[in-house]
Structure 1
Amino acid sequence: MRKRYYNVERSARTSGKGKYQILKRLLRHRRSSIFELAADYDGTLIELTRDLEALIGEGAIKERNGVFQLRRESIPEHYKKLIRLEEELNRNFDEVSLVRRFKQITSGRPKPKKEHWQGFMSAESAVRRARFIHERCDDCLSRILLIGDDDLVSVAISLFGQAEEIVVLDIDEELVHYINQIASEHNFWIRAFPYDARSPLPKAFRNYFDAFVTEPPETLRGLRLFLSRGFQSLQGTGSAGYFGLTHIEASLRKWKRIEHFILSSGFVITDLLRDSARYPEKENAWEDLYAKYPIVQRWNAKPPKIDWYRSSLIRIEAVEQIKVRNVSVRSPAELFVDHESWATDNVFYSMNFQK
């Protein structure tokens, strides 16, 4: 028996996602060294060693002199579905083609509604987001909740074909109907339901999901509300969350308060992809709204000719028992507007430009 060189508490990460990352790497590359595996693995070398030993013990992989291979003749049944789906994706994967297919599928998407403060990211951004979720193995045979989805990221995730269940909750009933129609036409396992995030999360969706994705309003109350709904949806340690945040309407002081909220709720921040989502001006058709934006009013500016609005993607993961706060928001004004909302239609109060 090989000597064990470690003695630390087992991490939740080793329960599934780490093993899946190893198997996916060995599917793409027939042989991989310990260091090649480490380069693609989300975790410590101790956790990697644990997962490798577990996979060897299960008969899924074999090793010689620090080089690893799949044992196709003895892969356990519970890994075969993932391997089949990943092989199919590897045969057909082409990000340009995925973006093209995403655009074709979503060509009839509803126009953004200003009463819901909607504005969707580009097709390229949505597919890149889904790809990042896939690389982290947060879609691997997983349940994913999207709290708001005018970006149609649920469709992009479905194109990777590995999520077992995707649920969308959105206040826009037209969008809900459209997503369900797409799911039916393309045989995607997506279910969409009308939902106002100011209402409690339905009990059926609490402690149920492996990951959540959301693009929350950028007020402090809005961020805390949407994140708290996401926290409540997750199963527990090892579950992940994804959300967008800008430097355009969220100061670093606000970032700090949100980071503290995340950390004190039992999560850590694992990744930040700066300005990874871009919002197309032409497709969103915001021209009529710009006159009401404080930044335009302050400088008497003309509508932009570039896709200037961008958002960063933040990934978080639960590392201890999740603490869910009771966050209440009464009105849309509280949810969407604060003194930093300078690229928002501030219809609820007159802006004090001296703030």
Structure 2
Amino acid sequence: MEGMDPRRVHAALSLLVDGRWWTLADLVRESAAPRRSVEALLAGLAVERDGDRFRLGAEQGRQVGEVLEGGHRPFAAADPVGHLLAEYEAVVERLREFIAGAPRGRHVLDHVAATPETVVRRALLLGARFWLADARLLCVGDHDLTSLAVGMIHPQVETVVVDIDERILAYIDERAAELGLSVRTRWADLRLGLPGSAVEFADLVVTDPPYTADGVGLFVARGIQGLREQGSGRVLLAYGASDRTPMLALKVQNALSDLNLVSEAIYPDFNRYSGAEAIGSAADLYVLRPTSKSLPAATARADRFSAAIYTQGPQAVEAREQLKVSAEDLGDVRPDVLVGAWPKDVLPEVPRVRLSTWLAKPYAAKVRQAGVALPAGMEASLARVLLATRAERVRVVSPEAVDLADLKVILEPVYELRSDGPVIEAVRRTDEHRDDSVWRILRAVMDRAHGKVANTWRDALIDVHGALTKRQTRAMVAEVAPWARDATLLELPMHRLRELPDAIRASLAGGGASG
């Protein structure tokens, strides 16, 4: 049991002495001890087994019980909001249903579901520690559905969820609409930036990031950028590490130190998970307070964090192989700009721009043709990369083939798409004056993807209707698509882009459709 925290040993043994049957996962979760430590503990005990379950035999249970009774009994720290949980049993049960019905976690995004009790306790801690009247919350990633728990317990809080997982965004929007919660979703690959509508938006930030130093550093940095008042804002971070790997925890804490943050509070083992057994199915909750140097540090460092921020899959820390691209991948395209990490020896005379800059603002010079190098794990940004330009032709080189079926439907007003393995080519359509009002408005919105959707939609409605005023069209758009408020097309989740044609059709009919 070398390397195992004595408190964890005591906790695990205390659970075993009553003779109940346990699974390894259950014992890990209840004791908050790393899986390897529990396995080492069990290896030294004579346990009875029944399939994947085990228990101490009666005689050994008695012996271990005598040892525990005669030895030191550690005190258990009080849960800061545990006493409030009983009052919210109905919310816990509703969250249990939501978590069970949510899209399955993606291991390449380091998804592990928090328990419903954990998610509700996060919401309760926000209410116990912070003033939430008219507060704004930013969830930087929300596979755990913290946004729904906060909305159910503190309906006055306005929440924005930023995530890369389109399935989670669609699920949160569906559940939030069902409950009438003030929750909006935005798509983002945080390695490429925080959505503009989320910058300086929030009073509080909650994040449960990938547990690598770069993953924690990146998500927290984006959270800092999301605070509207650095002096009063706080970032709540869930982070856990095994007792056996203190150097990993040190790297993470160094990343937080580099962001000039004060650890105002750390609640040990506050977060519990259905999984994550390597860290005892538990993680601490940090309350981080920005200083006057935090935002400059976040701005300077956010774009420098490695693209490999996860622990598994092609974006894992161990998988740092660069996308191999060459001039041959451009075919007969003669680019006016190269987007992404092209090697220096590929068309050195052609201007270059980072993917993050490409998505953040319109490219200043006129672009007829563009070449894009899309790194591994960033395929989800393809639609936004194409919408970010009005180039006549765009050639995208990806590490592997991308399914274009959905994109062809969504981008049909602006692009004809085709692919040859990992190479995608988009050719801009030239029939922008087609006599179809829905199509014309869609084209106008997609041609100005960096602009606020509500504004470009409003202007296009006026062009089509003629007699309508800005006030009238603004109200029509707000009625059929409240989710478009303050968002650019590049921030909207894919399910909203799919809904856009029907919403535009409803606005042409004078409103009346639900958002």
Q: What TM-score, normalized by structure 1, do the two folds share?
A: 0.58
1:160 to 143, 153, 162: 153
**What is the CA distance between 1:252 and its match in structure 2?**
3.5
Residues 175-194 of structure 1: pairs in structure 2 closer than 5 A: 175-194=168-187
Structure 2 vs 1, CA of residues 111 and 208 (structure 1 numbering), >3 Å: closer, same or farther? same
Residue number in structure 1 paired with 2:193: 200
Residue number in structure 2 paired with 1:136: 129
Question: Which consecutive unaligned segments of at least 5 residues does structure 2 have?
Answer: 1-84, 321-515
Moved more, 137-146 or 270-279: 137-146
Question: Which consecutive unaligned segments of at least 5 residues does structure 1 have?
Answer: 1-91, 287-292, 296-306, 350-355
Whether the aligned pair in 2 keeps the contact of 1:267 and 1:320 (CA below 8 Å) is no
What SS does the corresponding residue of 1:213 show, helix, strand or coil?
Answer: strand
Residue number in structure 2 paired with 1:86: none
1:327 to 299, 302, 309: 302
Identity %: 23
Distance 2:107 2:255 in 1: 29
Max Rg structure: 2
Could you list the per-position Cα deviations for residues 181-211 of structure 1 after superposition, in whole angstroms to 9, with x for gaps in the alignment? 1111100100112211111112222122101
Residues 35-184 of structure 1: pairs in structure 2 closer than 5 A: 94-137=87-130, 139-184=132-177
Could you list the per-position Cα deviations for residues 2-53 of structure 1 after superposition, in whole angstroms to 9, with x for gaps in the alignment? xxxxxxxxxxxxxxxxxxxxxxxxxxxxxxxxxxxxxxxxxxxxxxxxxxxx
Residue number in structure 2 paired with 1:279: 273
1:337 to 306, 311, 331: 311
Distance 1:252 1:308 in 2: 14
Structure 2 vs 1, CA of residues 249 and 153 (structure 1 numbering), >3 Å: closer, same or farther? farther
Distance 1:227 1:321 in 2: 14
What SS does the corresponding residue of 1:175 show, helix, strand or coil?
Answer: helix
Residue 312, structure 1, aligned to residue 284, structure 2: yes
- Report the aligned-residue RMSD: 3.4
Structure 2 vs 1, CA of residues 280 and 239 (structure 1 numbering), >3 Å: closer, same or farther? same
Residue number in structure 2 paired with 1:50: none
**What is the CA distance between 1:255 and its match in structure 2?**
3.6
Residue number in structure 1 paired with 2:231: 237
Larger RCO (CA within 8 A; separation ≥ 6) = 1
- Equivalent residues, number: 233
What SS does the corresponding residue of 2:161 show, helix, strand or coil?
Answer: strand
Whether the aligned pair in 1 keeps the contact of 2:160 and 2:184 (CA below 8 Å) is yes
Structure 2 vs 1, CA of residues 204 and 193 (structure 1 numbering), >3 Å: closer, same or farther? closer
Structure 2 vs 1, CA of residues 345 and 223 (structure 1 numbering), >3 Å: closer, same or farther? closer
**What is the CA distance between 1:93 and its match in structure 2?**
7.7
Q: What TM-score, normalized by structure 2, do the two folds share?
A: 0.41
Residue number in structure 1 paired with 2:417: none
Whether the aligned pair in 1 keeps the contact of 2:214 and 2:305 (CA below 8 Å) is no
**What is the CA distance between 1:346 and its match in structure 2?**
8.5
One-letter amino acid of the structure 1 residue matched with residue 262 of structure 2 = V
Structure 2 vs 1, CA of residues 141 and 93 (structure 1 numbering), >3 Å: closer, same or farther? farther
Residue 212, structure 1, aligned to residue 205, structure 2: yes
Whether the aligned pair in 2 keeps the contact of 1:138 and 1:210 (CA below 8 Å) is no
